[in-house]
Amino acid sequence: MGRETYAVGGMTCASCVRHVEKALRATPGVTSATVNLATNQAVVEGAATFEGLAQRVADAGYELARLQDPSGDPESSLGAARLRMAGALVLTAPLLAAMVPGLRLHLPGWLQALLSAPVVFGAGAGFHRRALRQALHRQASMDTLVSLGSSVAWGFALVEWLHGAPHLSFETAAALVAFLLTGKYLEARAKLKAADALEELLALAPPTALRRDPDGTFREVPVAQLVPGDRVKVLPGHAVPADGRVQAGEAEVDESLLTGEPMPVPRRPGDRLVAGTLVHGAALDMEVEAVGADTQLARMAQLVAQAQGSRAPAQDLADRISAVFVPAILLIAGATLAAWWFVSGGLGAAWRPAVTVLVIACPCALGLATPVAVMVGLGAAARRGILVRDAAALEALGKATDLVLDKTGTLTEGRPCLQRVRPLGGRSAEDVLKVAASLEADSEHPLARGIVSAADGALLPVSGFRAHPGGGVSGQVEGHEYRLGNPAFLGLPFPEEDAEGTVVGLADGSGLLGLMVLGDRLREEAPAVVAALKARQIRLHLVTGDREGPARHMAEAAGIASVVAGARPEDKLLRIRGLQADGAVVAFAGDGVNDAPALAQADCGISMGSGAAREGTAAAMAAAPLVLLRGGLTPILDARRLALRTSRIIRQNLAWAFAYNILLVPLAATGRLERLGGPMLAGLAMGLSSLTVVLNALRLRRWS
């Protein structure tokens, strides 16, 4: 089983999307297929071969190509669309000029036919070619409507000329195609701009790197030549070329383009570096660990592309309507032609309202309404350190009624911090802390790091240091023997046990000298974020594997009333299922590793990936459909605001697409649009309708 993405050619509306999806899903070996009109791509899962898929799509009247196929280059396609539009407008201009009052420009019929034919059947050949191919497969789409409309208009004008009519309608057919091509070109430009997020992400990585040769000199080479294990120098002001680890040097690194965090972070030997981040202040020597598609930057781009191609549930409504829309419009156009012919007694008054119905009803906007909004919104999110793997999960976040939070690393900072020191035996708190920190200076234990980070000033030298696994450490400081650890290791009872954290004691030969209470620290922004979520009528729950005391303490400090402590991964899963059984839409935020079952069960799983951004994001990315690369809880609010705004844009686009057809089709059928240009106005309105939904979606690029 595999997942592949292909380029699809020939799609112009929601009906095309449905036809291509139907063809792909009917291919033996395909388990699922999703087609996106905004990106002109298909995502196929299963064991089918490319040749088999391409044949099925070709049989449906469309084209399937591998993404690396040069014909799929969007810039090249845009250039071709520009040429078609320009040629059509140049040839149509004289025909329209003859209609300007006072200009007294009357072109002979043969010249009007000569100017309009290349527009209708040359520049507009794509409409006719696709319509014919679809007709052979008993299908209909926007191309069917445009091809029929423009061909009927030109054919009737030809008949008028051959019968010596004084006023011909060649300009109607030519202007119809010219306006449609102009609208499609502007739409393609806007769609290309909407897809910029992927290019911006991939452009963060530099094209070259300074690689160290065996003789110790550095030489500039293409990044594509780097392999894991290479040593690379990154100069100040330059971008990191690959994922790796600092070997020498200290500098600040700006990771904002990946995580959204505005402040540079310090990096020293042993710290990880991520491709695309910017080094400031000094040069860094690094060892390459991942290159190309294996870098975090490439995985981010892959996730964005995958999400932009995913289907939002709101798209289902458009798909159901498009299945019957084009056949219904063909019937309405036929009825319009028959009714006007019957009322007026002649075909001359009947064809224009019928053609106007055909053209103005093209469901382009309907097909673009949802996917282009998803594409733009998720691209904007990626630039702010919010990775969305599935558009459905983002929509679920906007509808969430309950948010379940893990404690360690989610509600809290995820590392032990010194909360207080209780001196005993006549020692001061400062002396107890300094001796304890000196003993723990070389230890990698999380509790040791919490003690050392709390100490101020220079530490004391230690001799005879020994680590006692599961108990503590011992050593000599200024000639005195000290032991630091838990009660069992020290062999001394502690005067108190603190339910809010872990207690460590310092002792010498005379007895206990002091106690240090360490515990996880609540994120500074947690109370404000919890209050903001409550204000939005979201119920908060804390579900953690920690003990009851620390769990209750953190929940109360944050303002969360619902607490489940001592929960194993399967208990978190059951808690989420219980809430869903009660009708709740549940979002779950966890660390993306031991919370994987809960993240998968939730309607929207949120992986707090800020720490993973520096220590390997692969697990966090794989665990949840939504990954927050920025630290803290505030990005949850940002992600929900994005979800709500994207849903609002989708609703606006769908409302516009539906209203456009519902209002204008009856006006076209009853001839109310004839005085405003009839088929010409229809072509212009259809193009503007599609452009409107794309431009409306582009407002999400300014989301903040």
In degrees and rounded to multiples of 5, residue 565 shows phi and psi of -105, 165
CB 79, CB 43: distance < 8 Å: no
User: Which strand (E) or helix (H) includes residue 222?
Assistant: strand 218-222
CB 455, CB 433: distance < 8 Å: yes
CB 380, CB 643: distance < 8 Å: no
- What tokens appear for 107 in the block? 């072109």
Task: State how far the Cα of 255 lies from the Cα of 296, in Å rounded to an integer.
Answer: 12
Question: Cβ atoms within 10 A of the Cβ of 549, count?
Answer: 15
Name the β-bridge partners of 15.
none
Residue 595: active-site member: no
CB 344, CB 674: distance < 8 Å: no
User: Which strand (E) or helix (H) includes residue 608?
Assistant: strand 604-608
- What tokens appear for 331 in the block? 């019937």
- How many residues belong to the chain? 704
Tell me whether strands 2-9 and 41-46 are parallel, antiparallel or unpaired: antiparallel
Given the residues 230, 390, 406, 591, select the one marked as catalytic. Answer: 406
- List, as own/partner pairs, every contact residues 340-344 make where C-beta atoms lie below 8 angstroms and the sequence separation is at least 24, other chains included: 340/671
Between the alpha carbon of residue 62 and those of residues 24, 65, 308, 632, the distances in Å are 11, 10, 22, 47
CA atoms within 13 A on the CB side of 694: 25
- Tell me the angle at which helices 315-344 and 351-360 cross, rounded to the nearest 10 degrees: 170
- What tokens appear for 18 in the block? 């449905």
SS3 helix, strand, coil % of the chain, rounded to 5?
Answer: 50, 20, 30
- What is the 8-class DSSP label of residue 239? B
Task: State how far the Cα of 385 lies from the Cα of 634, in Å rounded to an integer.
Answer: 12
Between the alpha carbon of residue 561 and those of residues 179, 400, 530, the distances in Å are 60, 18, 11
CB 248, CB 269: distance < 8 Å: yes
- What tokens appear for 566 in the block? 């001592």
* Nearest CA-CA partner of 625 in 343, 379, 304: 304
Task: State how far the Cα of 495 lies from the Cα of 281, in Å rounded to an integer.
Answer: 50
* Nearest CA-CA partner of 87 in 112, 114, 124: 124
Task: State how far the Cα of 628 lies from the Cα of 637, in Å rounded to an integer.
Answer: 11
Question: Which amino acid is it at 458?
Answer: A
- Strand, helix or coil at 196? helix
Burial class (CB within 10 angstroms; exposed 0-12, middle 13-18, buried 19+) of 443: middle
Please give the positions annotated as active site: 406
